[in-house]
Chains A and B, each alone.
Chain A
Amino acid sequence: MRPHVDRVVDTSGTYCPVPIIETAKAAREEGPGKTLLVIATDPGIEADLPVWCQGTKNELLGIEREGGRYLCYVRLVAKP
């Protein structure tokens, strides 16, 4: 079952680091307890988002592939 999403960050069509920049911006605006759905088309997101989550101490709930899109669920844990 897909997690409840508080905010969708659609970065389709952009390349890394833009998806990470957008994710970080949304994380700062939303704060702990919220869940982001990051949509990306750049395959680099599969490599970058896990290390970004590790560095920021947020929780990566999962990355799902849907056609050419990556649906990434991030639970915000860290204080902005």
Chain B
Amino acid sequence: MRKPKALGLVSGGLDSTLALLIVRDLLGCEVRAIHFYTGFCITESQRRRGIAGKDGKVKPNEALAAGARLGIEVEMIDISDQGYLDVIANPKYGYGANANPCIDCRIDMFVRARQILEEWGGDFVFTGEVLGQRPKSQRRSTLWVIERDSGLQGRLLRPLSAKLLPPTQAEIEGLIDREKLFAISGRSRKEQMALAEKFGLTEYPQPAGGCCYLTDEAFARKFFDILDHRPERRIERDEIPLLATGRHFRISPAVKLIVSRTEGENFQLRRYTDGRYLVQARDVPGPLALVEGEPTWEEMVLISRIVGRYGKGRDRAKLVVVWEKEGGKDELVIDPRIEDSAIDEYRI
């Protein structure tokens, strides 16, 4: 009998690592592992800002690390394109608790996986999804919707929960043995940890409950602020890294301010000055800030005071704040001694 070809979606977490081991080592399939990069990964964003682990080292990408542990290449595929951003700005199945359109996001990923599967000539796609583990995207009815809408009916195997789900085509045709699959469900990870031990898997990331910025409340506020202040529901690619950077203030419907919090964020903000004002205090150390839109004179004064308030010159009576955009430069002299209560109403 021919060796089945299976395409695995690997995050690098425990569940997808186990799924890969089951499909490769228990079912004996030829496995191709892929990882979709969405641009919303918290860990990846922290790595970009140079945030290190407890040992002082920047951690490797979890999917690549899982590939290293299992001796298999994990192909990185960047899906943070406008098509993906349009999906998350206009989700057919709505959002979870925050800005997480998990069902639509999964469907988009699985459509892409189906295309790769078909080009490769594979038999099925597999994931580490566990029935009932996540409230929105891993309910029985939702798993079915994702499978249907992605065009993967009968070709989507969830090895950890497979015995609780209808058999896939590969199982029906006898390409893979259903008896070797599992019946895990729910949020507890005990069974997965026991299974990891059986596989001799000692190293894996601790279950974190998702590392996606879209599930983060503060990030979601900033995300919806953008969508709420533009005529069409659209978010641009270069806005995503900024959503995870700095303090955000909505000064008016057309003007937004982002103030850095750290040296790393200063570096980050400098990369996104195209079409935006770069604002910072002169003569004293302090944060960098970006301003989107065309502020009025009063708004420029307010913004300059906010920027001044977060710098070393916050207690001075007078502070010079420099505004730069596309080669032009302006300086404003302001009083940075502004009360937090006066700032809070603008905070996103």
Contacts and interface: CB of A to CB of B under 8 A. Distances in A.
B70 A55 contact: yes
B64 interface: yes
A42 B61 contact: no
Given A44-B61, A48-B60, A55 B78 contact: no
A51 B48 contact: no
A48 B58 CA distance: 9
A47 B58 contact: yes
Contact of A51 (B35, B47, B60): B60
A43 interface: yes
Interface residues of A, number: 21
B322 to A, nearest CB: 25
Interface in A43-68: 43-44, 46-48, 50-52, 54-57
Contacts of A48: 60-61, 64
B68 interface: yes
Given A18-B78, A47-B57, A55 B64 contact: yes
B68 A16 contact: no
B50 interface: yes
Given A17-B37, A24-B75, A43-B50, A55 B68 contact: yes
Nearest to A55: B67
A47 B72 CA distance: 17
B71 interface: yes
B58 A44 contact: yes
Contacts of B278: none
A65 to B, nearest CB: 14
Interface of A: 15-18, 20-21, 24, 42-44, 46-48, 50-52, 54-57, 78
Given A50-B60, A54-B67, 11 more contacts: A17-B44, A42-B48, A43-B50, A44-B61, A47-B61, A51-B65, A54-B71, A55-B68, A55-B73, A56-B73, A78-B73
